[in-house]
């Protein structure tokens, strides 16, 4: 028996230099789920989303999966508002088990991911940081739009007017079909409007995200964010930001165990007042039981676009692109 590799990069294989055939069928690599995924047909004619900013074509959802994404949630939400400033709708689940599992397999095998490195400076000390999970992002803030024909960036305030080259310090990418379908359903359910899809892949229990809030000014006041879990379950912690009152919710964190298909709709004052995290977890799988998190949100200004691409793709268009290898199961 060979020794299991310890590096997180072992769970991904960089895409080949030559264009490869993309097989949208679900993996048979032993992903932990109580329900088998829907059968996704193998076909050379599978349509794909393409754009000059994509590192490779991104397959559309197969018709069988698209038709299984019902326009209404699988369950009514649980209302979480029993703490100060907390306003969350918890769909447990939003997606039925079989479509949720099929969507997990499709997205994991189809999307480009990045292990972003960046620097932070505290005083005179500069520290290099490697994001402890795989990330990717698609979308554009509300000040601009993609031209449907050419894919170029246009000024949203002046129909048909192209943006000058260099208007953004990044290369925005349109949301591909495989994410746009779920985004549209979510908008209809929630009444919210979104223009960004951020995707995190947690390969195993070593991947995590520290306590933070999505309260940047470019999201506007009281932003609404829809957060989906696909794949393995992970703990999701919530705690109130410090206040002069020092009420109990600032101490011990509230824990939700989010499973495949679950969705949190965080709204109102939640982002302004609360922090959330996905901590490291012992025994959370060896890569076959990874977790995908999709968050839909709405950025109002150019600063939001530049922020999201810097920290989810990387500066200058990103570094090495990682793609799940279905054949090897990693």
CATH code for the domain of 135: 2.60.120.590
For residue 281 the two structure tokens come to 């977890």
How many angstroms separate the CA atoms of 140 and 153, rounded? 9
Q: Into how many domains does the chain fold? A: 1
pLDDT band at residue 46 under the 50/70/90 scheme? confident
Q: Which of 48-52, 234-238, 244-248 has the lowest mean pLDDT?
A: 244-248
Does 6 or 325 have the greater pLDDT score? 325
Q: How do residues 255-268 score in pLDDT, each as one tens digit?
A: 999 999 999 999 99
> Which residue, 137, 88, 157, is CA-closest to 313?
137
pTM: 0.85
User: Is 293 known to sit in a ligand binding site?
Assistant: no
User: Is 108 known to sit in a ligand binding site?
Assistant: no
Report if residue 45 sits inside a domain: no
Q: In sequence order, what DSSP letters do the residues of 55-80 get, joined into one string? A: SS-EEPPPHHHHHHS-SS-SSPPEEE
User: Is 212 known to sit in a ligand binding site?
Assistant: yes
pLDDT band at residue 41 under the 50/70/90 scheme? very low
Report if residue 1 sits inside a domain: no
Asked whether residue 111 carries a pLDDT value surpassing 70, the answer given is: yes
Report if residue 8 sits inside a domain: no
What pLDDT is recorded for position 6?
Answer: 33
User: Is 200 known to sit in a ligand binding site?
Assistant: yes
Report if residue 9 sits inside a domain: no
Domain span at residue 122 reads 58-317
Residue 249, class by beta-carbon neighbours within 10 Å (0-12 exposed, 13-18 middle, 19+ buried)?
Answer: buried
How many angstroms separate the CA atoms of 140 and 37, rounded? 32
Indicate the helix (H) or strand (E) that contains 226. Answer: strand 225-231
Q: How do residues 128-157 score in pLDDT, each as one tens digit?
A: 889 999 999 999 999 999 999 999 999 999
Asked whether residue 3 carries a pLDDT value surpassing 80, the answer given is: no
Report if residue 246 sits inside a domain: yes
User: Is 243 known to sit in a ligand binding site?
Assistant: no
């Amino acid at each position: 028996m060979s020794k299991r590799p310890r590096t997180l990069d072992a769970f991904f294989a960089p895409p080949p230099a030559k264009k490869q055939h993309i097989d949208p069928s679900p993996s048979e690599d032993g992903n932990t789920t109580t329900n088998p995924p829907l059968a996704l047909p193998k076909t050379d004619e599978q349509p794909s989303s393409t754009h000059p900013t994509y590192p490779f074509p991104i397959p559309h959802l197969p018709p069988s999966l698209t038709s299984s994404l019902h326009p209404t949630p699988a369950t009514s939400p649980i209302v979480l508002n029993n703490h100060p400033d907390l306003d969350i709708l918890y769909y447990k689940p939003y997606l039925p088990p079989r479509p949720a599992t099929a969507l997990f397999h499709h997205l994991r095998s189809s999307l480009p991911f990045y292990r972003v490195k960046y620097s932070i400076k505290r005083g005179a000390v500069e520290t290099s940081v490697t994001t402890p999970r795989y990330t990717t992002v698609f979308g554009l803030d509300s000040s601009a739009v993609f031209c449907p024909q050419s894919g170029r960036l246009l000024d949203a305030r002046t129909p048909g007017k192209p943006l000058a080259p260099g208007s953004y310090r990044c290369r925005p990418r349109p949301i591909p079909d495989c994410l746009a379908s779920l985004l549209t359903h979510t908008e209809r359910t929630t009444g919210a409007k979104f223009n960004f899809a951020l995707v995190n892949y947690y390969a195993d229990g070593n991947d995590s995200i520290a306590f933070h809030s999505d309260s940047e000014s470019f999201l506007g006041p009281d932003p609404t964010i829809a957060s989906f879990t696909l794949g393995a379950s992970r703990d999701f912690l919530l705690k109130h930001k410090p206040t002069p009152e020092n009420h109990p919710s600032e101490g011990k964190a509230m824990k939700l165990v989010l499973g495949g298909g679950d969705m949190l709709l965080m709204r109102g004052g939640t982002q302004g007042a609360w922090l959330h995290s996905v901590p490291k977890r012992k025994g959370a799988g060896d890569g076959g039981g990874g977790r995908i998190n999709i968050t839909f949100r709405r950025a109002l200004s150019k600063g939001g676009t530049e922020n999201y691409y810097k920290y989810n793709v990387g500066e200058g268009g990103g570094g090495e692109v990682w793609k799940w290898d279905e054949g090897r199961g990693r």
